[in-house]
Amino acid sequence: MIEKTLAIFVLFMMTVVPLHFSFASDKESCSGGGMKEFSLGELKLCINDEPGNGDYTLRFSTDKELIFKGECAFKTQEPKIVRNTPLPNCSSLLAYCFSGGAHCCTTLFIATECGHKISLDMADMAHSDGRVNFIEADGAPGKVLRIFDWQFAYYAPEDSQIQLSFANSPAMARLLVFDDGHWRPDRIGEFSRFYSRLSLQAIHEAGALTKEPESAASVALKAAYYSIMSGEPSERATEILSQLLPEQWRLESPKVVSDLRRAATEFNPVENIR
């Protein structure tokens, strides 16, 4: 069983509430000093910097309701509006909320305007603290978001000799796809070429790490994970691990592949807000 050590602290700090008349002052919160406002159609993002400590309040609202409000630690990235993304004549607003703490945790907010509809989703980015990127992938109708799956941070299967430090924990690339008005994680086999390339790159990289067993094991996990995401059978992932894992860990390959496939299948960091 995978030891999931990802603690989404930021989600405990946030509330989703309807706007009642008692919240009238919230409607005016984007005016005054220390405030920044970003607009996407009727949706407004207000950021209120707290003086002295770097904390800030992030809130999404319309003229009629407060949709989402959260308390965040210091900024890791500034919000950004990207035009003609993910599709032509659509726009996306990206905002980040960091909870504070070692390695963890960042939540990504994605507001998307396509046609007359504006959606708001949030994605748990776990230990990632950098800016996400829109990329093009074979088979995608528009641009997709590249994020990372951190389910194998500190990976240490029960009754196993394998134990990875955070420094050598693999972060697997995954894609978020804009589908039916909201963002969702990609599926196994959906972007076969994209993941086949990543698997081959990881295989090549692992081959050069024979003198660094823990680093080699981490990259071997990536190669097998990407093989699974490309749609190849589990037998191929087992073969990759049997070749690339340090010798003392190779007998663990079937167990590791089972964990990899379950993680790839169950990965879903996105929650629809609006």
3-state secondary structure 172-202: EEEEEEEECCEEEECCCCCCHHHHHHHHHHH
Decide if pLDDT at 176 tops 80: yes
Q: Give me the helix-helix angle, 253-266 and 213-229, nearest 10°.
A: 50
Q: What angle do CA 80, 90, 120 make, to 5 degrees?
A: 60
Strands of the sheet containing 117-126, edge to edge, are 80-83, 90-98, 106-114, 117-126, 270-272
Lowest mean pLDDT among 43-52, 120-129, 166-175, 237-246: 43-52
Decide if pLDDT at 33 tops 80: no
41-65 as b/e: b if 16+ CB within 10 A = eebbbbbbbeeeeebbbbbbbeeee
pLDDT at 102: 65
Task: Please state, in angstroms and as integers, the Cα–Cα distance from residue 26 to each residue in 11, 60, 74, 105, 118, following that order.
Answer: 21, 11, 22, 27, 21
Helical ranges in the chain per DSSP H? 9-12, 192-207, 213-229, 234-244, 253-266
pLDDT at 34: 66
pLDDT at 26: 46
pLDDT at 261: 97
| Main-chain phi, psi angles of 52, to 5 degrees | 95, -45
Task: Please state, in angstroms and as integers, the Cα–Cα distance from residue 22 to each residue in 27, 37, 65, 271, following that order.
Answer: 10, 22, 12, 27
Please report which confidence band the pLDDT of residue 24 belongs to, taking 50, 70 and 90 as the band edges: very low
Beta strands 56-61 and 43-49: pairing type? antiparallel
Please report which confidence band the pLDDT of residue 28 belongs to, taking 50, 70 and 90 as the band edges: very low
The length of the chain, given as a count of residues: 274
The pLDDT tens digits for 137-174 are: 988 889 999 999 999 999 987 777 778 888 889 999 99
pLDDT at 219: 94
